[in-house]
Amino acid sequence: MTSTTFRIGGDLTVRRLGFGAMHLPTDPGPAREKSVAVARRAVELGVTLIDTAYLYGGGANEELLADALHPYPDGLLITTKVGVARSGPSGEWKLDGRPAVLRDQVEQALRRLRVERIELLQLHRIDPEIPLADQVGTLRDLRAEGRIGRIGLSEVTVDELDEARKIVDIASVQNRYNLLDREHEPVLAACEAAGIAFLPWRPVARGESGARAEIAAVAAALGATPTQVALAWLLGRSPVVLPIPGTARIDHLEENLAAEHLDIPAVHRARLDRLAEPG
């Protein structure tokens, strides 16, 4: 029986199938009202892990979640990401891992999310222009100060993960990974070996038509949707995998969460495993 929960950092229990808030519209009006309804419905359905980032609207996504869900129910983890800012020559988004920028973004996230501590704070990307030790070290210092509880990384290699772990405990890694895109298989293996949560972004495969046909065939055989098959495959791939599918529609949200109850028999799993070669 596949476990439906995972302890991030060894002590923070969440439901493995979470929700990615990136796609929620934040502009005032009916679309925002629907976004609030989707976020609330996710929590009603038992979601305890919601992923957001400063990059998603320059903090607007964080504010939306706070408007929808604060005061937060016990056990709800909203994880956010820092390290991308409008620091380009013309104010465009770029990687920015300068310690002062990371500190400011964490402080702003605390304010927008209306919390005193962010239980899981992720570095959105490693800025190649700033020493990794300075970036991860800043997050380590913020953890020591009680501003964040656990530290995660995103889009990292095995070597980068190893280097970061020499500086501070890493609780999560958020890399692109799905049924048809397994480039980061070595990173998943490293996370599994270390008990680190692996949050695949873009968890629903968008592959070639032939591969999608294979997924559709398995879905038809199991009485499920291709999306549910893709998510159920991830849940069965490794106990450290915590998919965070995103949507702005309640019907899609309910479809996604139902994947938790889909059991993929070995014969079908083997068929799906063959769709992409690891690494």
Distance CA 157, CA 102 (A): 21
Q: Residue 160: what residue type?
A: E
Of 159, 19, 1, 145, whose CA–CA distance to 77 is shortest?
Answer: 19
What the block records as the tokens of 191 is 């996370």
Q: Around 131, how many Cα atoms within 13 Å sit in the side-chain half-sphere?
A: 5
Distance CA 125, CA 104 (A): 16
3-state DSSP assignment of residue 103: helix
**Catalytic residue positions?**
56
Asked if omega into 71 is within 30° of 0 (cis), the reply is: yes
Q: Residue 168: CB partners within 8 Å, gap ≥ 6?
A: 136, 137, 139, 140, 143, 151
Looking at residue 180, the DSSP 8-state letter turns out to be T
